[in-house]
Structure 1
Amino acid sequence: MTDGSDIVLFETDSRGVATVTLNRPQIHNAFNDDVVQRLAAIWSDLAARTDIRVVVLKGAGKSFSAGGDLDWMRKSGQATAEQNRASTMNMARMLKGLNDLPQATLALVHGNCMAGGTGLASAADIVVAVQNTKFALTEVRLGLTPATISPYVVAAIGPRQARRYFLTAERFDATEACRIGLVHETVADEAALAVRGAEIASALLQGAPGAIRDSKLLVGRVAHRPVDEAVMEFTAQNIADRRASAEGQEGLAAFFDKRKPNWSV
């Protein structure tokens, strides 16, 4: 097992943007245990950092990610039940780590985005894809299920679309991915993807870090829930805390002073 520093690249800039690059281009950035552990370690590090405000996720080479490394999954047949369970729990925890990051996350997708790659994109806050990107949830054609990625894919595309694409394993393009909610917008090519990614990262840097964190928590607490007393209390407390916070007071003061707030880059 390697330390993973070469198979997943990590860099940051002075603005507080971290870029995470899947770096197994020879096999379309397919996952194995090393990739999963490296990603999990990166998410754990980022979750504790206040200097990083935006996380960009992308793939090196021709694809974002082809999903699970098939040779790695084939070898799982020789593993014990406990070893298999540990491996799949690592994948589940890695995806949750990305989903739960306090920073804004942006996936820039191109080439192939298959199976676990689709799950990784689904766990990001914002997804932009090149128009000719190919998506698929191919697990059933291998006798498998899209299990650990399912909470994030279903949240992105809804149960009705998940029933179709989980069962047919058919490929679909970025236009369809946009229509069903997996992708937020499409661009013409990889050059445009880089430009649009930079534009969105810049827009995210205009938001207060704590407000972005609390807005992500807000979505998780109110999505698909009735507006009952508990939801009303949570939302009221959320905005009450924000109004009184240092960020809230700075943002309001900056507005009236006609200047940028102190977090704006």
Structure 2
Amino acid sequence: MDSLTVSAVEHVATVTMNRPEVRNAFNETTIAELTQAFRDLGKDERIRVIVLAANGPAFCAGADLNWMKKMADYTHEENLADAGQLAEMLRVIYTCPQPVVAKIQGDCYAGGMGLAAACDMAVAVDTAYFCLSEVRLGLIPATISPYVIKAMGESAARRYFLTAERFSAADALRMGFVQEAVAADQLDAKVAEIVKALAGNSPNAVKQAKQLVQDVSGREITAELIAGTVAGIAQIRASDEGREGVRSFLEKRKPSWLQ
């Protein structure tokens, strides 16, 4: 791949954006490669956790300037197709069966915030800044909005979508956009700590728990929703890993997925 690298050690894959010269801004090539990487990893039963990382001083500066210059001359139909590819990339990351951890080692702007928000959790260095800068350019963060609003909340989105203010990692932590904000020399250790916790759990249960959050979040508590959760626990109790997990706990031994 031209714009990123993919590596795997045991059950953990790392997808690293590798365009530091443009602050990992993405273009059509990056979008296509990220989409393909996450599609492929999502099908790999050996992989239990995916880390989305970046090389260089910035995590992602949003859209590449040269790509934006080309888009300026696009027809409406071409803009629809282009935005559709970005939307598909975000959807593939968000619905990836394995948990995805964003490792934010530097500034995260515009579409980069969409990338981070599509992940299940994010760890940032405490010196990183975040910005939804689209309105400064006469645009709106439309395609990334479903994920960013879920991650930061409607109240914060109202402010930062409209003002395009930069905000700090501490602010991102306060609003829940990231789950940890740590010193640069602690970033690797904190991500490794989270990855270890994820990789040590039942792979099937982690996948089902990820889907559960997506299915239940924001829904009204109705008889239909309750019935769905009842069916969910009944099904996983009867699964091979569900039975093995309970049995190993009662027998005070490690479950099979840790052996």
Q: Which of residues 44, 54, 69 is equivalent to 1:59?
A: 54
> Which residue among 72, 76, 96 is the counterpart of 2:71?
76
Please give the root-mean-square deviation of Cα atoms over the aligned residues, in Å. 1.0
* Structure 2 equivalent of residue 141 of structure 1: 136
Give the ranges of 4+ consecutive aligned residues of structure 1 lying more than 4 Å apart after TM superposition: none
Which whole-Å CA distance do the structure 2 matches of 1:161 and 1:196 have between them? 26
The equivalent position to 1:119 in structure 2, one of 110, 114, 120, is 114
Structure 2 Cα separation of the partners of residues 10 and 261 of structure 1 = 29
> What residue number does 2:208 align with?
214
Distance of 1:217 and 1:188 partners within structure 2: 31
Structure 1 letter corresponding to 2:4: V
* Deviation (angstroms), 1:46: 1.7
TM-score (norm 2): 0.98
Select the residue among 251, 260, 263 that pairs with 2:254.
260
3-state DSSP class of the match of 1:263? helix
- Sequence identity percentage: 46
1:109 paired residue number: 104
In the alignment, the residues of structure 1 paired with residue 167 and residue 226 of structure 2 have an alpha-carbon distance, to the nearest angstrom, of 39
1:195 aligned residue? 189
What letter matches 1:102 in structure 2?
P
Whole-angstrom CA distance in 2 between matches of 1:161 and 1:242:
36
SS at match of 2:58: coil
Distance across 1 between alignment mates of 2:102 and 2:215: 23
Residues 1:10 and 2:20 aligned together: no
1: CA distance between counterparts of 2:220 and 2:78? 40
Q: Write out per-residue CA displacement over residues 209-236 of structure 1, whole angstroms, 9 at most, x where no aligned residue.
A: 1111111111111111111011101100
Contact (CA 8 Å) 1:221, 1:231: kept in 2 or not? Answer: no
1:238-257 to 2 correspondences below 5 Å: 238-257=232-251
User: For 1:180 and 1:233, how far apart are their aligned partners in 2?
Assistant: 32
- The corresponding residue for 1:155 is 150
Structure 2 residues without counterparts, runs of 5 or longer: none
Partner of 1:171: 166
Shift of 1:82: 2.0
1:46-66: CA deviation from partner (whole Å, max 9, x where unpaired) = 222211110000110111111
Q: How many pairs were matched up?
A: 259
Cα distance in 1, alignment partners of residues 152 and 194 from structure 2: 22
TM-score by length of 1: 0.95
